Structure 1
């Protein structure tokens, strides 16, 4: 994980001293306007407001006094909208062309997959539309990580340390929400102008059943390609529609994706030794010294540390996203066939886009420190293609019936064994899942009955 989530840094910033000299926040400056002397509790609110302005550049949002939670989404939306700027409405002709492309793509996909159509409407979104229609999903993705990061270190403090650090903890919570919101807003603003469809990063971000394409980004992509724009739009419509077939008719899929992010959040650990040392020597009066406060916030003691639990969660998330992308690529290639001669070239273009760190990689690196590996996506597509050749599209798509039937990371590395199991009709994954479900049900029945089973009494199944 090369990037820490939500802009946490190691504290090493070679430009910080220069910025401090320019802003007057370094030694010798007094940006709080408190001057020297003893710490005055009556000036606490003003000091915190000034501190937020100095560090986050968004003092006006803090001045509202609203509790923003682990992520300040109002700030995120504001920053994203500001970076987008003026947006012209999508012409009706463009919207109609996208609707026609989605309808045509759905017809072709019917012959390539057993999963029925998952779209109920088509839409042409502006970047602002994308923000408005996806922000609720981003909240579900961001909150688990942000909540864990904002509370895990504070909860581990001894009670006496919590009392001593109370003002600092309150300020850090509010500033953390603004920092997360600022980071997310910048990422979403950039992403909204680069994504090609609502499912471009492999997640069901928009409303269920709405196949949405982004004309502005598609136009920018088409400028550097030789294929006709009509083919590009139809190709992207097919990818969007294929994603919706999965997300609409594989009911556990969205939950599994979100659970992987939440599992990552639950695995977040903070090195408490630094915080405990801070708590032992913490003096609230030091808050009156801006240079001391800045030094405190940049010591890196609040940084999350990678854990084995997080590594396992990220591997599950990466594998599932690779399987989704590989399946979509396989199904779209079969559906379009010779109908769009440039489909293979377009698929390769998107693969290179991912390999060079496109919007998906940037977003996940910001969100959870995960960079999707194109190698996994290529291997997943190869597995689905070989599985289709071996057992047909119906049996291939039947793998999505239960998460335990899906290939795992080792299967992507060695697909032959997985294909052999499918050819032999191996459903051990499903069998074990059913056995576990029955065991859970029996335990619930025992609990409701008030205790363990009486071995002399018959049991109903």
Structure 2
């Protein structure tokens, strides 16, 4: 099989370049882990009551991880997705060349560099690539560091974060077809290329290199969108963007809907957190743009507006029709026109 990434080297690079977490004693760390597990269960009850979405499949317990472990889990997930795609594109040919081996090591370092940067930013994640139906990850060092920086009450901040992340877990465990649909769209994106297998692999390597360059060089003008080179791929990207915007917006809607009832200091937390999102030095802002993080931030706002508008019109049960099948997911155009989705789905 053609090599694309030296995954072991990517993991080693992410571990070596990742920042150290905040200073805590062993007993403090153990208490944080135990508290995050308790708060996750607390959040799950609130999300179920608010959304009416009941998990239809079993899910693994939450994993409380450090930055290195977060990178390792994501590398395992990427390996599960990318290796079969590269094998398909290359026709299972063995590389057998010095150039290919060197290329995989270079890409491994680049991928590790990107993951090292992101490992210091992510508070939580529902990781869907490595396992079915997925795994809820909470990055303890980042949560502690952020709550200290915001001067937030620890329990309130942790519950607020967990409301968002548990909503993602609920989405994928209450809607059993969602993970397969999402992964299918990722495969469709690669399949939609009009280029030969080796050209696609070269473009993928170029994209990883562009992201790594964005981390090292904030003046870089690279963009993930450089990978989109055919109309067919753009169409798939529209569908993926619509799904991600819905999922993020729904999680924001839930955390803002539940928060005022169960998180006493939620207004202060939201105000300070939004200021943190929008702020940052010029280097941080450049990295957010180049890594696509700014796009994700827009998804939070746009998706939340869509969910809010639909719930206002047809109630929570009416909104939950969105989970009936892939055919009831909103089109990208409907995210800014919720009446169009209501008319199409509710007729």
Of the three residues 90, 93, 109, the one matched with 2:31 is 93
Of the three residues 215, 224, 242, the one matched with 1:319 is 242
Q: 1:386 maps to what in 2?
A: 309
Q: 2:326 maps to what in 1?
A: 403
Q: Contact (CA 8 Å) 1:211, 1:240: kept in 2 or not?
A: yes
Q: Give per-residue Cα distances to partners, 1:173-229, cap 9 Å, x unaligned.
A: 223222221211111122222210133xxx535655654322210122123324312
Q: 2:203 maps to what in 1?
A: none
* Number of matched pairs: 309
Q: Contact (CA 8 Å) 1:70, 1:147: kept in 2 or not?
A: no
Q: 1:418 maps to what in 2?
A: 341
Alpha-carbon distance in 2 for matches of 1:261, 1:371 = 21
Q: 2:52 maps to what in 1?
A: 114
Alpha-carbon distance in 1 for matches of 2:99, 2:241 = 32
Identify, as 1 or 2, the structure richer in helix.
2
Alpha-carbon distance in 2 for matches of 1:264, 1:131 = 24
Alpha-carbon distance in 2 for matches of 1:317, 1:350 = 27
Q: 2:139 maps to what in 1?
A: 214
1:243 aligns with 2:243: no
Shift in Å, 1:339: 2.2
Alpha-carbon distance in 2 for matches of 1:86, 1:356 = 22
1:123 aligns with 2:63: yes
Alpha-carbon distance in 2 for matches of 1:220, 1:253 = 33
Alpha-carbon distance in 2 for matches of 1:342, 1:205 = 34
Alpha-carbon distance in 1 for matches of 2:155, 2:40 = 12
Q: Contact (CA 8 Å) 1:71, 1:177: kept in 2 or not?
A: yes
Cα distance change on mapping 1:173 and 1:230 into 2, 3 Å: same
1:69 aligns with 2:13: no
Alpha-carbon distance in 2 for matches of 1:141, 1:353 = 33
Of the three residues 204, 208, 218, the one matched with 2:128 is 204
Cα distance change on mapping 1:308 and 1:147 into 2, 3 Å: farther
1:79 aligns with 2:13: yes
Cα distance change on mapping 1:227 and 1:420 into 2, 3 Å: farther
1:186 aligns with 2:124: no
Alpha-carbon distance in 2 for matches of 1:135, 1:363 = 21
Cα distance change on mapping 1:196 and 1:406 into 2, 3 Å: same
Q: 1:329 maps to what in 2?
A: 252
Q: Contact (CA 8 Å) 2:189, 2:237: kept in 1 or not?
A: yes
Q: Contact (CA 8 Å) 1:326, 1:378: kept in 2 or not?
A: yes
Alpha-carbon distance in 1 for matches of 2:135, 2:227 = 37
Shift in Å, 1:374: 3.6
Alpha-carbon distance in 2 for matches of 1:384, 1:251 = 21
Contiguous gaps of at least 5 residues in structure 2: 200-225
Cα distance change on mapping 1:373 and 1:143 into 2, 3 Å: same
Alpha-carbon distance in 1 for matches of 2:50, 2:192 = 40
Cα distance change on mapping 1:83 and 1:188 into 2, 3 Å: same
Q: Give per-residue Cα distances to partners, 1:65-107, cap 9 Å, x unaligned.
A: xx88221101111111212377787722112111221121122
Greater CA radius of gyration, 1 or 2? Answer: 1
Q: 1:195 maps to what in 2?
A: 122
Q: 1:56 maps to what in 2?
A: none
Q: Give per-residue Cα distances to partners, 1:404-431, cap 9 Å, x unaligned.
A: 1011111012112223445xx33xxxxx
Q: Contact (CA 8 Å) 1:73, 1:181: kept in 2 or not?
A: yes
Cα distance change on mapping 1:76 and 1:310 into 2, 3 Å: same
Q: 2:217 maps to what in 1?
A: none
Q: Give per-residue Cα distances to partners, 1:126-154, cap 9 Å, x unaligned.
A: 11222333322122344467568x849xx
Cα distance change on mapping 1:270 and 1:320 into 2, 3 Å: same
**1:426-445 to 2 correspondence within 5 Å?**
426=347
Q: 1:104 maps to what in 2?
A: 42
Of the three residues 93, 98, 104, the one matched with 1:171 is 98
Cα distance change on mapping 1:270 and 1:362 into 2, 3 Å: farther
